[in-house]
């Protein structure tokens, strides 16, 4: 719960989610829109986010990471629906 801050200028914003068993899951929300080169991810230590056990890493503009992201990676493409296309 709480506000979610856009990581546009920081690249990565960390959060925590309390799970049903009261354990804490780390969440890293990355926005790669301003990324100029995938190698910048190595420079900022992005591998540490990907290697952290039980962490959830959410990446906006993942296409800017090129082939930097290891498998398995899930890509979700979202588009805004026209209101005329939505069943009422």
Q: Mean pLDDT in each 10-residue stretch from start to end of the chain (88 residues)?
A: 71 88 90 91 92 89 86 73 65
Residue 82 domain-assigned (yes or no): no
What's the confidence (pLDDT) of residue 28? Answer: 93
What's the confidence (pLDDT) of residue 83? Answer: 67
Q: What is the DSSP letter of 69?
A: S
- Count of the separate structural domains present in the chain: 1
Task: Please write down the long-range contacts of 49-52, taking CB distance under 8 Å and 24 or more positions apart.
Answer: 49/12, 52/26, 52/28
Residue 85 domain-assigned (yes or no): no
> Buried (b) or exposed (e) across 30-46, using 16+ Cβ within 10 A?
bbbeebeeeebbeeeeb
Residue 8 domain-assigned (yes or no): yes
What range defines the domain where residue 53 resides? Answer: 1-66
What's the confidence (pLDDT) of residue 19? Answer: 85
What's the confidence (pLDDT) of residue 68? Answer: 87
What's the confidence (pLDDT) of residue 50? Answer: 92
Q: Is the pTM of this model over 0.85?
A: no
Residue 51 domain-assigned (yes or no): yes
User: Residue 17's domain is classified under what CATH number?
Assistant: 3.40.50.300
Residue 50 domain-assigned (yes or no): yes
């Amino acid at each position: 719960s709480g506000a979610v801050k856009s990581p546009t200028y920081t690249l990565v914003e960390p959060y925590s989610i309390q799970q049903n068993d009261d354990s804490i899951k780390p969440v890293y929300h990355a926005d790669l829109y301003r990324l100029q080169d995938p190698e910048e991810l190595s420079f900022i230590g992005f591998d540490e986010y990907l290697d952290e056990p039980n962490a959830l890493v959410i990446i906006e503009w993942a296409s800017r990471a090129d082939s930097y992201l290891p498998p398995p990676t899930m890509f979700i493409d979202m588009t805004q629906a026209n209101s005329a296309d939505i069943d009422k």
